[in-house]
Structure 1
């Protein structure tokens, strides 16, 4: 299953709030994607297709081969997060794939 991983320093408040924004985006676009949130230390051990989080947190992640990473400048602006998701090559491929299935 496709997965988006939302990362913050402790894996509690910030990543949970962002996860809710991302889940709303996934539901609105009728995508079959699982969304999880975690702390920065655990992120390297969780398989995902897309990782997003605050820019300063993402910069601390170990390099992820073949995984798109979105460093967010503004983690509370829902419209900005939505825009970043729509700009994602990974999300775009999911949207195209979904349209091709219909």
Structure 2
């Protein structure tokens, strides 16, 4: 079975993406999802196989457009309620939550 992955990107791959990764892992645990979270700098992002890419809008705008990968462009990278809402609005996350419900 395909391992589901979220890639968090930031300019250096160290600061913002690492902090956001921790929050995403908490979100995944709270929703009981089997998803791996990775973080990378914007220059390396194209080398990752992932289902969802998330990061600050200005960083994401530097990436080439992916037609098969959903991308979440965050206007605010510190407001956890806003990030949670963006995740819950994500088609990819919605499909994972629906899939999980079907397994129960």
- The aligned residue for residue 71 of structure 1 is 73
TM-score, with normalisation over the residues of structure 1? 0.98
> For 1:25-82, what per-residue CA distance to the aligned partner results, in whole angstroms no more than 9, with x for missing partners?
0000000000000000000010100000000000000111310000000001111111
Aligned pair count reads: 102
Which stretches of structure 1, 4 residues or longer, exceed 6 Å deviation after superposition?
none
| Local SS of the residue matching 1:31 | coil
**What's the TM-score, normalizing by structure 2?**
0.96
What is aligned with 2:24? 22
SS at match of 2:94: helix
Give unmatched runs, 5+ long, in structure 1: none
Partner residue, 1:35: 37
Instruction: Provide the rounded CA distance (Å) in 1 between the counterparts of 2:21 and 2:79.
Output: 13
Task: Show structure 2 runs of 5+ residues with no match.
Answer: none
- Identify which of 9, 12, 18 aligns with 2:11: 9
SS in 1 for 2:29: helix
Computed over aligned residues only, the root mean square deviation of the Cα atoms, in angstroms, reads: 0.5
